[in-house]
Amino acid sequence: MTYLDVQAPAQKIWPALFAGISLFIAGAVTVSGVNMFGTRFGFGFLPLLVLAIWPRRANRLVSLFFIFLAGIFTDWATGGVMGQSSLVFVLVWGLMRPELRSAPFAPLGLGLMWIAICGLASLIMSMSGYFVYSVGPNFAVLGRQIIIATLCLPVVMLLRRGLAMRINDDEDWR
């Protein structure tokens, strides 16, 4: 194995820009929810889908900027603890390191990464929510949000693939 085999791919601003805009859109969708059978189903984990399929060749600084601002926007729009979503988004993005994935969209790898992202986000949201409000987490709500986001994962992957093909940036899809 040589140094070139472990080197991260070349960074570009356009993938980071498109992914950042997608993250803002997912944060805006987070505000809405569906009431069915007397239970509210929220979309709180949808922005994490965008982070799970973040482009490998996106510029790190531009990505970090968009991720932090999208977290602040999500907290502002949902009326949540200011900075909680930013903390979750930045930690998830930093720990999952999209530029170091060798096969970014292999089904098993994406599934395992999605489980890790959901676990990490649930842990951070539970702990930070407990420290701010001194109330334990509602695991039923977190579970419903994870299930809804997991069901939306194939749709988001198809949308990302269509966008990548449209802008002739399909290198990640081989």
Q: Which residues, 6+ apart, have CB-to-CB distance to 125 below 8 Å?
A: 84, 88, 137, 142
Most confident among 42-46, 49-53, 88-92 (mean pLDDT): 88-92
Q: Mind listing the pLDDT tens digit for each residue in 126-153?
A: 888 778 777 777 787 788 788 888 888 7
| Structural tokens at position 69 | 């601002």
Q: Name which residue leads in pLDDT, 33 or 122.
A: 122
- Amino acid identity of residue 138, one-letter, is N
DSSP-derived letter for residue 33 is E
d(CA 85, CA 121) in angstroms, rounded, equals 9
Alpha helices in the chain (DSSP H): 13-29, 46-52, 60-78, 84-96, 107-133, 139-166
Q: Mind listing the pLDDT tens digit for each residue in 79-93?
A: 877 888 888 889 988
Q: Name which residue leads in pLDDT, 61 or 98.
A: 61
d(CA 121, CA 124) in angstroms, rounded, equals 5
